[in-house]
Amino acid sequence: MVTRPPKHDIDESKLTVRPRQTHAVGVPGVVNSLKISLEQMGVKRTAETLLRVNQKDGFDCPGCAWPEEDRRHMAEFCENGAKAVAEEATIRRIGPEFFAEHSIEELRSHDDWWLGQQGRLTHPMILDEGATHYRPLSWDEALDILADELRALDDPDEAVFYTSGRTSNEAAFLYQLLVRGYGTNNLPDCSNMCHESSGSALGQTLGIGKGTVSITDIHDADLLIIAGQNPGTNHPRMLTALEKAKQRGATIVAINPLPEAGLLHFKNPQTARGMILGGTQLTDDFVQIRLGGDQALFIGIGKHLIEQHAIRGGVLDTTFIDAHTSGYAEYAEAAEQVSWNEIEVATGLDEKRIRELAERVRASSKTIVCWAMGLTQHKHSVATLRDVVNVLLLQGNIGRPGAGVCPVRGHSNVQGDRTMGIYEKPPTDFLDALDEEFAFTAPREHGYDTVAAIRAMDAGKVRFFLAVGGNFVSATPDTAIVESGMAKTGLTAHVSTKLNRSHVVTGRRAIILPTLGRTDRDRRGSGDQRVTVEDSMGAVHGSRGRLEPPSSDMLSEVAILARLCERVFAGREDAPRADWQALEGDYARIRDHISRVVPGFERYEERIQKGRTFYLPNPPRDTRQFATATGKAMFTANRLEYPHIPAGRVLLQTLRSHDQYNTTIYGKDDRYRGIHDGRRVVLTHPDDIHEQGFEDGDIVDVVSEWHGPNGLEERRAEEFRLVSYDTPRRNAAAYYPETNVLVPLESFADDSGTPTSKSIIVRFARRG
Ligand SMILES: Nc1nc2c(c(=O)[nH]1)N[C@H]1C(S)=C(S)[C@@H](COP(=O)(O)OP(=O)(O)OC[C@H]3O[C@@H](n4cnc5c(=O)[nH]c(N)nc54)[C@H](O)[C@@H]3O)O[C@H]1N2
Ligand SMILES: Nc1nc2c(c(=O)[nH]1)N[C@H]1C(S)=C(S)[C@@H](COP(=O)(O)OP(=O)(O)OC[C@H]3O[C@@H](n4cnc5c(=O)[nH]c(N)nc54)[C@H](O)[C@@H]3O)O[C@H]1N2
Ligand SMILES: [Mo]
């Protein structure tokens, strides 16, 4: 049963709303993923592929960055991992005939679901200036055009190089070398819109922009706090780890405005208990917080712990605080200043409720806080995360087994890309090592992050845009500005597996370079190649695809980038020196370079052989050493912030449905939340629907309100259905990317620049 790609876009009139579910996975999860796999891959390929996900010496799942439990066992079943694999391993293809048939204008009229469903890209294509259709061209022609264009710019800073987090370590390393050898640090990436706030807060306070726990710490924790994360959909394999922790006696607390199914109850398809018996109740305590109230909540917890320590003693880890931290007194003073009244307003929870939760923290001797986008995509996200760190420091929960911070990353190699230097603000020691290895001088001036890149495009300062993966146009905020910024760019080019909106909303000229994905066999000079990736917990391992690539004329990301380096650097005395053809022919040679540039990768090749995994050094976790401004883990005194919502307005968060991977839409259902056959819904408290003069089921425009330099700015997303939902008053939720039109470019987090995708003031407007 292999179905054909859809002929029409999503028809929202078919949308139905059913009761939301309280259990994650179980039989419906298995059925749903099998249905999608069979549709995209057929029976044989489904069997071949799904058995190889995350197996020893198999391929790394292109889904999320959650680590493997134990790579020697059979692939852990994960509904959304299976969907991610099916999306890539599909047997649908789009080659030159497809582009001859569909004009650029027609393609632009389709949604991201339709575009992605058409199949894998197989051939390099170009859209000439003024042309109505993409036409095929050879690899040499395509790469020559890119190199010529780059060499023709007046200033390297007129070029922007975007990365999405699926790129392997090897490709990412070559990519940043290309960009720095060319002369700029303009390396915005998806991380700027994702965990940048985590990196900023953890870098400042702990001296490393990464988490401090391993998978065994999760199993061993006493208390797991999961804040601003929906693992049932976005990190389903995390549920297995939570179940294990639970069986060992851990307490799990979920902090979320929405009662997310996966957080509450899990039916593990791997066990009889999960499939036949009732499954495991994961969450002991669901704390239904208001959007953006987390900083207040953690300050409240901190206040309670400090107070209890004064009353009964023994609550704080004073030995740890004295030996390993700075700034305790200032923090304690600042926390004391914050009134319970304000904490109650910000969180929507009463003092008693918060103290109950704080008592769980007090009673635990090993606490981990896990979080994702609910904590990182607010204006005050960095301060919020610094206050999370404060609470953990109080009890010495950093650098102790079963305890620590756990930012749960999104893309499967987003953390590795950063380790490899995909960063607009590279540290000098990294650049020094790079200079030495390749005998050149990398630029020191910081480059554009995502928001800055969009501003520069909008100002007409960008003449060249290259993306390795991702969907810049749909993933970024303020769609109208991004689309006009793209149009002002001379040449936009994408290294991609699947068609998306960024290929059809383009610069004056555009190029598509089709590439291999994780599941594809990658044959190069020295034989079948593996690439490597780093998971959310700093463990590095190999990944090797086995499927025949969609066409024989495709290149890997590594090969494309090596050939670009060769062309761009040809004849330039000041360019990085390396044997580009040799690197393309044998990725072990790239790893050899990496092993000398990036600390922690010594003996790289040996340590990834035969499916082995190694952990990168993590000084806070390993030895309680903190490379911060004070040389210690830093308590910080942060001013309390939270969103202020004007009367008659609601605060909108934009999130993922169960059937999507960011801008890739797998299907039209959000099963756990009860939404079927459509996506244009706003989940809203019934009283807010009525207060704004509407009824459940009404179709409205959603209008965002932003106070910019020129006064009130309005942005409009048309035709959304109001759906009554269990959410705090004045808090609403709708899916991204459809709602990105509402997110003002100038609304981003302090310190990290992350767009405030979880915090947009909106009202509902009658359709005129
Ligand atoms: N299947 C699938 N897997 C994915 C992805 C995908 O799209 N599909 N995307 C990947 C990527 S790149 C990422 S970054 C991750 C994203 O993983 P998540 O962060 O889980 O993704 P979101 O859907 O944005 O969900 C945000 C959650 O935070 C809650 N939340 C929102 N605002 C607040 C707040 O102010 N406070 C609190 N406490 N909670 C809040 C929301 O109700 C929701 O449960 O998943 C990765 N994995
Ligand atoms: N409003 C709002 N906006 C958001 C968010 C939100 O919660 N709300 N979340 C933000 C977050 S957390 C993130 S991470 C970004 C995501 O931003 P991006 O990473 O830019 O977007 P994706 O949708 O993950 O990119 C999908 C595309 O990547 C390509 N691709 C897939 N696999 C491969 C591969 O192996 N190689 C190559 N070269 N290409 C590949 C395919 O062409 C596919 O169409 O969006 C952000 N935007
Ligand atoms: Mo992300």
pLDDT score, position 555 = 97
| 440-468 pLDDT per residue, tens | 999 999 999 999 999 999 999 999 999 99
Which residue owns the Cα nearest ligand 1 atom 13?
410
pLDDT score, position 275 = 61
Which helix (H) or strand (E) segment holds residue 39: the answer is helix 26-50
Structure tokens at 476: 């970024």
Asked whether the predicted pLDDT for residue 274 surpasses 80, the reply is no
Asked whether the predicted pLDDT for residue 7 surpasses 90, the reply is no
Residue among 403, 289, 417 nearest 354 (CA): 289
Q: Token match 């540039």: residue?
A: 597
Q: Distance between CA atoms of 206 and 628, rounded to whole angstroms? A: 6
pLDDT score, position 2 = 64
CA of 664 from ligand 2 middle (Å) equals: 8
Q: Does the Cβ of 420 fall within 6 Å of ligand 1? A: no
Q: Distance between CA atoms of 137 and 627, rounded to whole angstroms? A: 50
Residue 214's Cβ-side half-sphere holds a number of Cα atoms within 13 Å equal to: 18
Sorting pLDDT into bands at 50, 70 and 90, what band is 261?
Answer: confident
Tell me the average pLDDT across 274-293: 85
Sorting pLDDT into bands at 50, 70 and 90, what band is 70?
Answer: low
Which residue owns the Cα nearest ligand 1 atom 22?
655
CA of 633 from ligand 2 middle (Å) equals: 33
**Ligand nearest to the CA of residue 411, numbered in listed order:** 1
pLDDT score, position 49 = 81
Q: Would you list the domain boundaries of the chain?
A: 12-89, 97-190+413-611, 196-408, 650-766
CATH for 650-766 (2.40.40.20, 2.40.50.140, 3.90.1200.10, 3.40.50.2300): 2.40.40.20
DSSP at 618: -
Please check whether residue 608 is in contact with residue 530, taking contact to mean a CB–CB distance below 8 angstroms: yes
Give CA separation, 315 vs 282, 304, 738, in Å: 27, 10, 47
Sorting pLDDT into bands at 50, 70 and 90, what band is 47?
Answer: confident
pLDDT score, position 404 = 98
pLDDT score, position 765 = 98
CA of 428 from ligand 1 middle (Å) equals: 33
Which residue owns the Cα nearest ligand 2 atom 22?
470
pLDDT score, position 76 = 66
Q: Distance between CA atoms of 126 and 141, rounded to whole angstroms? A: 10
The closest-lying atom of ligand 2 relative to the alpha carbon of residue 655 is 7
Buried b (16+ CB within 10 A) or exposed e, 395-427: bbbbbbebbbbbbbbbbbbbbbbbbbbbbbebe
Tell me the average pLDDT across 475-489: 98
Q: Token match 């598509």: residue?
A: 512
Tell me the average pLDDT across 52-69: 82
The CATH superfamily assigned to 196-408 is Dimethylsulfoxide Reductase, domain 2 (3.40.228.10)
Which residues does ligand 2 sit against, CB inside 6 Å? Answer: 116, 164, 166, 190, 193-194, 373, 410-411, 468-472, 475, 495-498, 500, 515, 517, 557, 654-655, 662-664, 736, 739-740, 743, 757
| 536-548 pLDDT per residue, tens | 999 999 999 999 9
Sorting pLDDT into bands at 50, 70 and 90, what band is 337?
Answer: very high
pLDDT score, position 634 = 98
Tell me the average pLDDT across 718-723: 98
Asked whether the predicted pLDDT for residue 72 surpasses 60, the reply is no
Q: Token match 């405005």: residue?
A: 257
**Ligand nearest to the CA of residue 519, numbered in listed order:** 2
pLDDT score, position 273 = 66
Q: What burial class does residue 696 get, using C-beta atoms within 10 Å of its C-beta: 0-12 exposed, 13-18 middle, 19+ buried?
A: middle
Residue among 32, 33, 45 nearest 92 (CA): 45
Please, which residues bridge with residue 762 across strands? 650, 704
How many other β-carbons are positioned within 10 Å of the β-carbon of residue 74? 10
- Is the N-terminal amide bond of 156 cis, ω within 30° of 0? no
Sorting pLDDT into bands at 50, 70 and 90, what band is 272?
Answer: low
Q: Distance between CA atoms of 397 and 364, rounded to whole angstroms? A: 10
Q: Distance between CA atoms of 208 and 204, rounded to whole angstroms? A: 8
Q: Distance between CA atoms of 270 and 312, rounded to whole angstroms? A: 45
Which DSSP string do the residues of 185-218 spell out, in sequence order? ----BGGGGTTHHHHHHHHHHHSSSS----HHHH
Residue among 600, 579, 574, 599 nearest 590 (CA): 579
Structure tokens at 539: 């463990």
Q: Does the Cβ of 211 fall within 6 Å of ligand 1? A: no
How many other β-carbons are positioned within 10 Å of the β-carbon of residue 655? 24
CA of 666 from ligand 2 middle (Å) equals: 13
CA 507 to centroid of chain Cα atoms: 26
pLDDT score, position 167 = 97
CA of 741 from ligand 3 middle (Å) equals: 18
Structure tokens at 85: 């694999």
Residue among 91, 94, 112 nearest 40 (CA): 91
φ and ψ at 367, to 5 degrees? -115, 135
Structure tokens at 446: 């910081």
Q: Cα–Cα–Cα angle for 583, 584, 587, nearest 5°?
A: 65
CA 291 to centroid of chain Cα atoms: 19
Tell me the average pLDDT across 557-563: 98
Residue among 656, 757, 475, 673 nearest 63 (CA): 656
Buried b (16+ CB within 10 A) or exposed e, 310-331: eeeeebbbeebbeebbbbbeeb
For the sheet containing 159-163, what is the strand order?
135-136, 125-127, 509-514, 491-496, 464-468, 159-163
Asked whether the predicted pLDDT for residue 75 surpasses 80, the reply is no
Which residue owns the Cα nearest ligand 2 atom 4?
475
Asked whether the predicted pLDDT for residue 493 surpasses 90, the reply is yes
The answer for residues whose C-beta is within 8 angstroms of residue 503's C-beta and 6 or more apart is 107, 115, 494, 496, 510, 512
Q: Distance between CA atoms of 465 and 162, rounded to whole angstroms? A: 8
Query: What CATH code is assigned to 97-190+413-611?
Result: 3.40.50.740
Residue among 147, 36, 129, 19 nearest 568 (CA): 147
Q: Does the Cβ of 257 fall within 6 Å of ligand 1? A: yes
Sorting pLDDT into bands at 50, 70 and 90, what band is 260?
Answer: very high
Biggest distance spanned by C-alpha atoms of the chain? 76
The closest-lying atom of ligand 1 relative to the alpha carbon of residue 84 is 1
Asked whether the predicted pLDDT for residue 88 surpasses 70, the reply is yes
Q: Distance between CA atoms of 232 and 252, rounded to whole angstroms? A: 14
pLDDT score, position 58 = 83
Which of 19-33, 79-93, 412-426, 529-543 has the least mean pLDDT?
19-33
Please check whether residue 173 is in contact with residue 589, taking contact to mean a CB–CB distance below 8 angstroms: no
Please check whether residue 199 is in contact with residue 752, taking contact to mean a CB–CB distance below 8 angstroms: yes
Residue 323's Cβ-side half-sphere holds a number of Cα atoms within 13 Å equal to: 11
**Ligand nearest to the CA of residue 60, numbered in listed order:** 2
| 592-635 pLDDT per residue, tens | 999 999 999 999 999 999 889 999 999 999 999 999 999 999 99
CA of 375 from ligand 3 middle (Å) equals: 12
| 566, amino acid identity | E
The closest-lying atom of ligand 2 relative to the alpha carbon of residue 498 is 42
Structure tokens at 76: 């852990």
SS3 for 71? coil
**Ligand nearest to the CA of residue 87, numbered in listed order:** 2
- Is the N-terminal amide bond of 737 cis, ω within 30° of 0? yes
Tell me the average pLDDT across 389-416: 97
Sorting pLDDT into bands at 50, 70 and 90, what band is 30?
Answer: confident
Tell me the angle at which helices 587-597 and 169-182 cross, rounded to the nearest 10 degrees. Answer: 70
